Amino acid sequence: MDTEFLNATNAAAYLGVSRAVFYRWQKTYQIKFYLVGGIKRYSKQDLKEFMKENSLGGR
């Protein structure tokens, strides 16, 4: 199974929050990211786990 990676804009949309909220969560909760070609990417699987662990708004 291939892991799908999202940029910050799409990750925020996936979680159902604004980019500003996503960036705040990233700093506060240290959301895991991967550097791909020097650009931060977020895996959908990691985002799902983040939401389960933190019971925050969004999807």
- Return the pLDDT at 3: 82
Q: pTM of the prediction?
A: 0.83
Cα angle 36-14-12, degrees, rounded to a multiple of 5: 70
pLDDT at 56 over 90: no
- Return the pLDDT at 5: 97
Output b/e per residue, 16-44; b: 16+ Cβ within 10 A.
ebeeeebeebbeeeebebeeeeeeebbbe
Q: Tell me the per-residue pLDDT of 23-51, one tens digit each, with 9 for 90 and over.
A: 999 999 999 999 999 999 999 999 999 99
